[in-house]
Structure 1
Amino acid sequence: METSQSSFRADRYWQIFQRHRIPAVAVFLAISTWGVISTAIKPNIYEAEGKLKFQKSNVNSSLTDVSHEFKVLAPVTDDNNLIATEAEVIKSNSVIEKTINDLQLKDRQGNPLKISNFCDKLNVYVISNTNVLRISYQYPDPQISKEVVNKLIANYLESNLITNKNEALEIRKFLEEQIPKAQQALLDTETSIKELKTKKQILSPQEEASKLATNLGDLEKRLTEARSEIINLNSQSKYLKEQLTMNAQQVLSATELTQSPAIEQIIAQLQELELQLNQEQNRFSENNPQTIKLQDEIRLQRELLAKQVKRVTDSQQEFSSSPQFGEIQEELTVEVIKLESNTIGLTQQIAYLAEIEKKLRQKAANIPEVEQQLTHLERELGVSQRTYELLQNQLNLIEIVAHQNMGNVRVISYATTPNTPVSSSSLGYLSTISLGLISAAGVVYLLEARDSYLRTIKEAKQLFGYNWLGIIPSFNKTELSAIAESDNCSTPPLIVRDDPGSSVSESYRMLQSNLRSLNSDRQIQTIVVTSSVSGEGKSTVAANLAGAMAQVGHKVLLVDADLHSPVQKNIWDTEGDYGLSDLLADNLDYRLATETAMNNLSIISSGTISQSPGNLLDSYRMKDLMHYWSRVYDFVIIDSPSLDKAADAPILGRMADGVLLVVKPEEINRSQAEFAKETLEHSGQNVLGIVFNNINPKVDAGGHYYHSLEKEHDVLPQAQLSSGSEEEFWATIIGVSQKSPKLQLSSTINPQQLLDIPVDRLEDTINHLEQDLAELTALVQEQEDELLMKSQIVRKLRRKVKLASIPERFSLEEELAQEQEIKQMLEKTLRGQRCNLARKRQIICQYQEIIQVKQT
């Protein structure tokens, strides 16, 4: 299957080339001739080459590092474009001009070689995945090509060295200008840090923050304890005052006593003595001298406190005269005074601690700002330090590079004198021929794209959309033995009559078989044969189709209704005086115009040419004739004018059972085909299908043209008969059949003629028929196998369509439709072949019965 499709595509391409061979060959010859001449006069070209290896230079590296710090412009020297940049430097005007001057290069006129001409022969490119640059130069003289490459490399090396030194000097100058600035920036940053720490009195923000947090915690603890102590003292003082039942004046006096400095001093000493006494009592007993001494000092201090109170309040008599003012009240009063004094002290202490807390919190609030400023300055200090160190290091490096005579390129290989030219004549000829072939193919493609003619069956089927009923293959008259002897080459041949064993005759028999299969749906007897344009062979198809129908035993009438350009009279070589136009115009009996062309086939020619054939055909007389003919004959074939010539075909098509459209690819363009289709559709024609005429089976049958067209078969046994007329032989058979009840043959011929037919002749005829039956049986089996294979292909395509994606489904559905159409055509053809096979078997049985009857 794949081999046949490939062969079909090759034949299809060859057919396309044949259509446009003249312009394609002209273009090919023109380009090839020009290329051959150019290659022949072109001198040999030699190419010398050298190679350079590149690496990043120290100068460029230094300048790049410094430029990153100071945001200044520097040459791009990364590995990706270093070599590409240097390649452009090699092709620069200055390097090339110096090379031209050094070698005194001249053009053909003796003038100094131009830079553009030099660059046309120069090739500089990077070897992929390497740091190697290849430099080549092409010139007819191999020695000059070598010298050019080596001189170009030398000039580039010199230029590269000078460029590196100049870059080093520029960088050195730049560094010497920047180092003092960087040093001053470093000192300024250090001074700013020192001033900030001095002003804020912070050496380390982190340590200072930690210390402040600890101090604030201690202050809050002390403040809490002091406030708690004040609450405790106030509670005790309140209670003692209630126990002393002191009035307001007394309370006021007690308050004044607590505010007296002398009393405060005595109270303080009293509290200290009481504390010491408490400690001594814990250490010693009550009789210890030290304890006794402290008790005496406390008593003296209490007495001194009482005297001082009396003196301050100036109310000694009031206190002494009061009967309640005894020793206990005195002690309570002293205790109240001590409590009030302690409360005042704690209040002052809380105020002092609160002030300290406020200052510490203010200092802590300033630490983040100071820390931010200090961090910024320290960052600037780091940047300044690195910049200064970088500049100093690069300056030292530049000092070393400036005194070196090294570049960033090394010569891997110098050019040598080439021995073999790069431009070969054979290569030039091959390139020229290839270019010519490509150009010719392009011309063929453009012409084919602009071609508006229908070239293939597929294009015609897609445009018309009708079922195709048969394919009539193309042929040469020299290929057909019976037709080759004819002298009249302009008359369309009658293949089915003159060469019934040919493949073309078999195709007409297939066509009539397919038309008969249409009778299962609708009775079809009158068929109008037409075409889109003149020259598609409709008259030839009509004549041979009528002959094929007559050969299988149908009674057929062929009517030449092409009153514009009739040809049926010439095809059948009839001599009648009347025709269709005479029947319609003069109301003559149709039998006057009817002539017998062959067995079971009658023909009515066109008759006298009329000036208004459309009026004659579109008449009641024509309708009556067609109605009558359909009752007398099995089939009526009407040859009508083409659709582009007149409206006769649609007129006759409305009277007939259907229209058979003949299409000849390469004879009709798309606009003519569309016009024909619109004409048929608008006139409401029953289009039976399409007959493709003059088709090359190897090119345009899609690989599915039936094998039966390649073999010679006869539908009737007449080709196997020897001497003697066909009518005589059949008359003899019919006469014998009267003695056999199994035979159903006509009895119109005298049965006595059978007595003169020898038995051996009948046996030879049976042998020929059996041989023909075997070949036809093999043919039917081949078609059965082909139909089975086609059915499998259709099933596979249906499964693919179900599983295919949307983009693939369109092409698969189109392919499926084509395969189904071919399968249907195979089924129709196979039905006709089966009928032929059954008919041949019946004929053989009849012959055998006749022999048995005659022998008995």
Structure 2
Amino acid sequence: MAVNTENDSINFRQAWRIMKRRWLAVTIVLSSVVGITGAVTFSQTPIYEAEGKLLFNKANLYSSLTGITEGQNIDVPGINSNNPLETQAELIRSQPLVQKTIDALELKNSKGQPLTIEEFSQKLKVTGVKGTEVLQISYRSSNPKLAANVVNTLIKNYLENDIRTNRTEVVAAREFISKELPEVETKVRSAEYGLRQFKEKNRIVELQEEAKTSIKNQSDLADEIIKSEAQLVNISSQIQALQNQLGFNSRTAVALYSLSQSTAVQQLLNEFRSSQDKLAMERTRYSDEHPIVIDLANKVQVLRQQLELRVVQTLGKVQNLNERDLQIDPLKQNLTAELVKLEVERTGLSNRVATLGNAFNLYKQRAKILPSLEQNQRQLERNLQVARQTYEQLLRRLQEVQVIENKTIGNARIVSEAQVTNRPVSPKLYLNLALGGFLGIILAVGAALTLEALDGTVKTIEEAQELLGYALLGTIPRLSVSRHYRNRDISTLPIRDNPWSPASAAFEKLQSTLEYTLPDQVLKTIVITSAIPNEGKSFVSANLALAMAQLGRRVLIIDADMRCSNQHQIWKVENSQGLNEILENKIDLQTASRKVANNVYLLTAGTTPSNPFATLASPRMNALIATAQQEYDFVIIDTPPVIYAADALVLGKLVDGTLVVVRPGAANSAISQEMKSLLTQSTQRVLGMVINDVMDETDSYYGYGVQKGYYRLPVTK
């Protein structure tokens, strides 16, 4: 972002000029504010502040008692660990300590009555030093010794109360812990019993190891079941093949195999068959009524019954077996034995598969309840652990409290006691005066700017340039009496009477600048006017004529301000006849004009006509200007102010250009803008403006000339 230092410099100079113009208002406001501030400051009673400091032991503030309250949520009276320094500050400001200090020192207020706690608290300040464990205690009073005594007494009362409170808190803590310890011990035992009972009920030794073992056993049982089932299928296939080959099922095979292996059955069977053979032989020889046949038939019958009884005894139940099945050949006997063996193996494998399945299901059911058992066990173990930790902490805290109870210690110690000071903290003389001066400067500047804003006159060159927008052709300084002319009057013709003055140099510069206003033609006739009277248009006209005459040019001054002519007074000549008489065709220019200086001729206004505007607007005025241009090198027409008469607007159209004179402090902004509007509407050729009566002698041009001695009086012989 660019900074326009030139504009800033201009604004600063403008503000400085405003301050200089309004110096009286600035001085009054500034001196008033500073004076009031000083009076108020010196009228106040000096207030002194005494200060003491306490250092707190962090270990004591966050004591073992605090550890119990934080860890076990036990409410011990008097303990607060959220912000210990604020807690101690509130204790220092507490009513009992404050009242005890007031009573000890017999403090009184301004009315002679005992000081109240509220009045005391307003003068007391307790703050913590940031980043430390230090509390700063200060008290203000008009008596410096009393302020120090108050702080020291308050600190003493606090320390005594702190020690007494600590002892009381420790005793309360010991009693509380002693009361809670049996209950916590009971909780520990209850938790231990509950955990043990849970393990016994659920047959728990080590759940993690049991879970690992259960998974492994389930895997092994699954493998064994698969193998046994495969063997069972194989044996069942073999049994089915043997049953098909023998023609009977396994149950019959078992029965026949058992009977074939029974000696008693086989002996009875052999005897039975032998008796049958004999009976059959005898029947061939004898009739059925023969005693031998009858005996043999009875014997066969008895043997049959005995054989059936023996079969029942051997098999354990009645079997529908033929006599031929009771005795089989060796081959069939071997197959039957093999079938019986396979049946036994199948039965064993079936039992094994069932047993393994039951075991697998038991492990599986156990595995399902292991997570819930583990969760319950952990909860019980946590309860036991918390109970044990609480019990151990209470035991440890009880020992610490018993040790602390036998000591007399406090939370703080004195870092520095309050000292009597002779330097008041209120009122702050230099600060108040500085603030008063600063406020006075602001108010003074504001007053100056306000007065400047209410005053609508054009005061500076910059304001004139911004308002009118005309080219600045020259600035004429205010005329003053130098130290060489201390006993002389100020001349209205400094070019003639004081050629070494800054005003003379300003007019010389003005006539030089006018030469370049019309680059395309030679400037010979100009109208000099202003917005209102007393802006110095006649003064400028006369001195500009002298400045041009110094270059050897014949210059004519026409005083066209018939309403209020002034040129004859400046040049100190008669005004009996002049411009009015020429326009009335009574005399000619040669007769009416007068030589007032070397190469300078003056045509006065003459007698005042009844209608000056009509007189100046007549064709003879145009002819007069044309004649003057032929006879003179330069013609200057002094006209009335634009606001009061239209003469300048008419004459401005008859000449080469118009020169506007502006005097700071004379015309206001509205009038100057109205003048510009009139000149613009009348299509005037405004050459520029001249700022007259500039009183700022510090201007670089004029100041340089005065300081360096360029304008000195000539040496007289």
Tell me which interval the TM-score lies in, with the shorter structure as reference length.
0.5 to 0.7
Q: Give the 5 Å matches for 1:828-847.
A: none
Aligned to 2:311: none
- CA contact under 8 A between 1:60 and 1:75: conserved in structure 2? no
- CA contact under 8 A between 2:525 and 2:629: conserved in structure 1? no
Q: Deviations over 1:809-830 (max 9, x none)?
A: xxxxxxxxxxxxxxxxxxxxxx
Aligned to 2:299: none
Q: CA separation in 1, counterparts of 2:256 and 2:689? A: 144
- CA contact under 8 A between 1:466 and 1:690: conserved in structure 2? no
* Aligned-residue offset at 1:201: 4.4
* Aligned-residue offset at 1:567: 5.0
Judged with a 3 Å threshold, the aligned counterparts in structure 2 of structure 1 residues 373 and 476 are, in CA distance, closer, same or farther, namely: farther
Q: Which of 467, 472, 476 lines up with 2:475 in the alignment? A: 472
- CA contact under 8 A between 2:26 and 2:447: conserved in structure 1? no
Q: Amino acid of the residue matched to residue 512 of structure 2?
A: S
Q: CA separation in 1, counterparts of 2:583 and 2:195? A: 128
Q: Give the 5 Å matches for 1:435-474.
A: 435-450=435-450, 451-452=452-453, 457=461, 463-464=466-467, 466=469, 468-470=471-473, 472=475, 474=477
Q: Amino acid of the residue matched to residue 154 of structure 1?
A: K
Count of aligned positions:
648
Q: CA separation in 1, counterparts of 2:666 and 2:74? A: 78
Q: Deviations over 1:373-410 (max 9, x none)?
A: 44444444434433343344334434444454322122
- CA contact under 8 A between 2:27 and 2:444: conserved in structure 1? no
Q: Amino acid of the residue matched to residue 422 of structure 2?
A: P
Q: Amino acid of the residue matched to residue 507 of structure 2?
A: Y
Q: Give the 5 Å matches for 1:415-434.
A: 415=418, 418=420, 421-423=422-424, 430=430, 433-434=433-434
Aligned to 2:507: 508
Judged with a 3 Å threshold, the aligned counterparts in structure 2 of structure 1 residues 484 and 550 are, in CA distance, closer, same or farther, namely: farther
Q: CA separation in 2, counterparts of 1:622 and 1:171? A: 125
* Aligned-residue offset at 1:477: 1.6
Q: Amino acid of the residue matched to residue 396 of structure 2?
A: N
Q: Give the 5 Å matches for 1:411-810.
A: 411-415=414-418, 418=420, 421-423=422-424, 430=430, 433-450=433-450, 451-452=452-453, 457=461, 463-464=466-467, 466=469, 468-470=471-473, 472=475, 474-479=477-482, 485-486=488-489, 493-520=492-519, 537=536, 540-541=539-540, 543-553=542-552, 567-568=566-567, 570-573=569-572, 575-577=574-576, 598-599=597-598, 624=622, 628=626, 632=630, 689=688, 691-695=690-694, 701=699, 707=704
Aligned to 1:849: none
Judged with a 3 Å threshold, the aligned counterparts in structure 2 of structure 1 residues 542 and 180 are, in CA distance, closer, same or farther, namely: farther
* Aligned-residue offset at 1:478: 0.8
Q: Amino acid of the residue matched to residue 501 of structure 2?
A: S
* Pair 1:257-2:247 in alignment: no
Q: Give the 5 Å matches for 1:69-88.
A: 69=71, 77=81, 82-83=84-85, 86-88=88-90
Q: CA separation in 2, counterparts of 1:581 and 1:75? A: 112
Judged with a 3 Å threshold, the aligned counterparts in structure 2 of structure 1 residues 153 and 424 are, in CA distance, closer, same or farther, namely: closer
Q: CA separation in 2, counterparts of 1:58 and 1:138? A: 31
Judged with a 3 Å threshold, the aligned counterparts in structure 2 of structure 1 residues 125 and 68 are, in CA distance, closer, same or farther, namely: closer
Q: CA separation in 2, counterparts of 1:521 and 1:178? A: 117
Larger proportion of helix: 1
Q: CA separation in 2, counterparts of 1:70 and 1:345? A: 65
* Pair 1:207-2:206 in alignment: no
Aligned to 2:57: 55
Aligned to 2:155: 153
DSSP-derived class of the 2:518 partner: helix
Q: Amino acid of the residue matched to residue 485 of structure 1?
A: R
Q: CA separation in 2, counterparts of 1:592 and 1:264? A: 189
Q: CA separation in 2, counterparts of 1:441 and 1:203? A: 93
DSSP-derived class of the 1:407 partner: coil
DSSP-derived class of the 1:445 partner: helix
Judged with a 3 Å threshold, the aligned counterparts in structure 2 of structure 1 residues 424 and 198 are, in CA distance, closer, same or farther, namely: closer
* Aligned-residue offset at 1:494: 3.4
- CA contact under 8 A between 2:622 and 2:654: conserved in structure 1? no
- CA contact under 8 A between 1:123 and 1:136: conserved in structure 2? yes
Q: CA separation in 2, counterparts of 1:629 and 1:183? A: 136
Q: Amino acid of the residue matched to residue 447 of structure 1?
A: A
Q: With a CA cutoff of 8 Å and minimum separation of 6, indicate the structure with the bigger relative contact order.
A: 2
- CA contact under 8 A between 2:467 and 2:669: conserved in structure 1? no
Q: Amino acid of the residue matched to residue 250 of structure 2?
A: L
Q: CA separation in 1, counterparts of 2:94 and 2:443? A: 43
* Pair 1:106-2:108 in alignment: yes
Aligned to 1:407: 410
* Aligned-residue offset at 1:56: 3.4
DSSP-derived class of the 1:517 partner: coil
Q: CA separation in 2, counterparts of 1:540 and 1:167? A: 101
Q: Give the 5 Å matches for 1:51-450.
A: 51-56=53-58, 58=60, 61-69=63-71, 77=81, 82-83=84-85, 86-115=88-117, 118=120, 130-137=132-139, 143-168=145-170, 171=173, 175=177, 179=181, 182-183=184-185, 186-187=188-189, 189-190=191-192, 193-194=195-196, 196-198=198-200, 200-226=202-228, 250=244, 256-257=249-250, 353=356, 356-415=359-418, 418=420, 421-423=422-424, 430=430, 433-450=433-450
Q: CA separation in 2, counterparts of 1:579 and 1:63? A: 118
DSSP-derived class of the 1:478 partner: coil
Judged with a 3 Å threshold, the aligned counterparts in structure 2 of structure 1 residues 395 and 524 are, in CA distance, closer, same or farther, namely: farther
Judged with a 3 Å threshold, the aligned counterparts in structure 2 of structure 1 residues 191 and 519 are, in CA distance, closer, same or farther, namely: farther
* Aligned-residue offset at 1:656: 6.5
Return the index of the structure with the highest Cα Rg: 2
Q: Amino acid of the residue matched to residue 519 of structure 2?
A: S
- CA contact under 8 A between 2:25 and 2:448: conserved in structure 1? no
Q: CA separation in 1, counterparts of 2:238 and 2:614? A: 149
- CA contact under 8 A between 1:530 and 1:643: conserved in structure 2? yes
Q: CA separation in 2, counterparts of 1:13 and 1:559? A: 41
RMSD over equivalenced CA pairs, Å: 5.9
Q: Amino acid of the residue matched to residue 64 of structure 1?
A: T
Give % identity.
31
TM-score by length of structure 2 reads 0.67
